[in-house]
Amino acid sequence: MDESNRFLKFIGGKNIFYILAFFILIGITVFIYTKISFIFHPFQVILSTIAPPVILAFVAYYLLNPIVDILERFRIKRIWGIILLILGISGALTGLILLTAPSIEAQVKDLVQSFPQYLGQIGNSFTEWVQNSFLGPYYDEGYNWLMERLGELPEIIGTYITNGFQGVQNIASTITSTVVSIITFPFILFFLLKDGKKFQRFTIKVFPPKFREDTKQILNNIDTQVGSYIQGQIIVASVIGILLFIGYLIIGLDYAFTLAIVAAVTSVVPYLGPTIAIIPAAIIAIVDSPFMLLKLVIVWIAVQFLEGNFVSPNIMGKTMQIHPLTIILVLLIAGNLFGVIGVILGIPGYAIVKVIGAYLYYKFKKRYNKYYGEDRGKYEMEE
């Protein structure tokens, strides 16, 4: 076979010209969009309104769908299983909130009032240490520089007050969006649990018959990867919160319950979350005593050891084979691009991209083996 002809067939034959034309059209569309993006502002508002409850519903779907499937095996109709599950969880959460809200509220209020004092004590200790160290001669210069900058404070405050009105509008918008999400989220979750499989079949039928098998496999892989990650990460974060609460109680750290909740919530974000969670606990421990800080370090090391060697390996398994460095880079990039939402959804988004990329690479290897495998050596294929 002629080498140039074989290469043309390898990259898709004449279809490659249609593919290139398609990408050129996409580029033109993006360019036009950047020029008239204001026209699409209403669609952006709609998308930003429906996105939070849909995301919450999908997270809850991956957590609750296995339970609904189990109830179905016990001959409970799916719709009744969903209703019973949602009512049961709603009742349990309501009871838990009613029981724990007073103590949490008291701890949070006390912590908010006391935290500036903790920071002040740490600042005074640090200042005293600097003045008595080799940095002492530079302390006065730094202090004078700071006082000069404080002279500009009124102007800065005026700027912030001017921008404050816009901030109030943003806060009002955020509160409205949160209320809408809380109200609509259960309804979206109900229909996801009820018709999730129908939705997948409908999505597959949208594609031409030739691509339906590939689409089905990709969707199944994405479902497995993202579902396993969400289920596992939330369970791991909950276990970390419980272990830290027990550890904080044992060493007698103040605000144990509140700090454990903060650790559980932030631990949803791998690697970066636990690091952020230890900061307020460390500040409180330092102010208490150096010995309390030592006890906190021991508790933290013990919890991280249990999580890394027993909890995560058994709960997460090997469904998300992502290198720790990759996770950190993904979180940093997603955080810069999309803020807090990017940090939370960065890893599931990366998992989806990885599944699609891995499947395309698998197809590429099969195609290479077809055209070049006999005389150039074949890719190793994992079926």
Is the pLDDT reported for residue 62 higher than 70?
A: yes
Tell me, yes or no, whether 154 and 15 share the same domain: no
Three-state secondary-structure class, residue 267: coil
Q: Answer yes or no: is 9 within a domain.
A: yes
Q: Answer yes or no: is 230 within a domain.
A: no
Q: Answer yes or no: is 82 within a domain.
A: yes
pLDDT at residue 298 in the model: 92
Tell me, yes or no, whether 20 and 89 share the same domain: no
Give 134: exposed, middle or buried? Use CB within 10 Å, 0-12, 13-18, 19+: exposed
pLDDT at residue 161 in the model: 44
Q: Answer yes or no: is 275 within a domain.
A: no
Tell me, yes or no, whether 52 and 194 share the same domain: yes
Q: How many domains does the chain have?
A: 2
Instruction: Quote the domain boundaries for residue 14.
Output: 1-35
Tell me, yes or no, whether 151 and 170 share the same domain: yes
The answer to whether the CB of 379 falls within 8 A of the CB of 367 is no
Tell me, yes or no, whether 200 and 66 share the same domain: yes
Amino acid at 316: M
Q: Is the pTM of this model over 0.85?
A: no
pLDDT in tens, 262-316: 888 888 877 777 777 888 888 888 877 778 888 988 999 998 888 878 777 776 6
Q: Which of 175, 206, 237 marks a domain boundary? A: 206
Q: Which of 206, 230, 261 marks a domain boundary? A: 206
Tell me, yes or no, whether 48 and 194 share the same domain: yes
Mean pLDDT across 218-232: 84
The answer to whether the CB of 216 falls within 8 A of the CB of 204 is yes
Is the pLDDT reported for residue 319 higher than 70?
A: no
pLDDT at residue 159 in the model: 53
pLDDT at residue 141 in the model: 56
pLDDT at residue 157 in the model: 47
Is the pLDDT reported for residue 156 higher than 60?
A: no
